[in-house]
Amino acid sequence: MNFLAHLYLLGNNEEIIVGNLLGDFMRGKKIESFPSGIAKGIQIHRKIDVFTDTHPIVLQTKNRLRPFFNHYSGVIIDIYYDHFLASNWATYNDISLKDFTTTCYDILKKNRAVFPPRFQQALKYKRFRNLLCSYSKISGIKFAFNRLANRTSYPSNLKYATCELENNYGIYHQEFKEFFPELMEYAKEIMELEKKIRII
């Protein structure tokens, strides 16, 4: 999943929130040098990614996207799902999206030294918080896709991902509504198990 969903799923443990988001920057890297809470957040991030990437609904969505978007289909799903979460935020959280992202932004900014330099810059100027809020609108994810398209080394067709969503909005939204509650339940189980381990 993308940033917003990962932040939403991990409750209010500060170190786990930091580690969970850091997971996107730590693929294949050792995590032993981090504090235990941050390391645990990275591990949870990886578990959530495996659950997501192997889920039948997500695989179905990827198969629909792959012929035109190739290996970028997973990136597109991440942003689609963050859009559906942001645009239907009140269904999943009593706290407003703005207040939630502000709280997360403050936590990440306080711990920005653990993140790569480019991400530190985004935290410094609040671009990250504003990006998460912008995902609630089609214009926001269009901007995100265009930025990604300009940064890819190979032809990606990412600039057409917004049109694909608009043309098949109901299909993708329904898949999200079926998948996300299962992901929420899985994340809840992971966090409950983590609490039991800490108590022991």
List per-residue pLDDT tens for the chain, 200 residues long: 578 999 999 867 888 888 888 887 776 667 877 888 888 888 898 899 999 999 999 999 999 999 999 989 999 999 999 999 999 999 999 999 999 998 988 888 888 888 878 778 777 766 777 888 999 999 999 999 998 898 887 788 999 999 999 999 999 999 999 999 999 999 999 888 876 655 44
User: Would you give the DSSP letter of residue 137?
Assistant: S
If one counts the domains in the chain, the total is: 1
CA separation for the pair 58, 101 (Å, rounded) = 25
Q: Report how far residue 126's alpha carbon sits from residue 103's, in angstroms, rounded to the nearest whole number.
A: 12
The token pair at 3 is 């940033």
Domain hosting residue 62, numbered range? 3-199
Q: How far is CA 103 from CA 13, 44, 55, 99, 182, in A?
A: 12, 20, 30, 6, 25
pTM value?
0.90
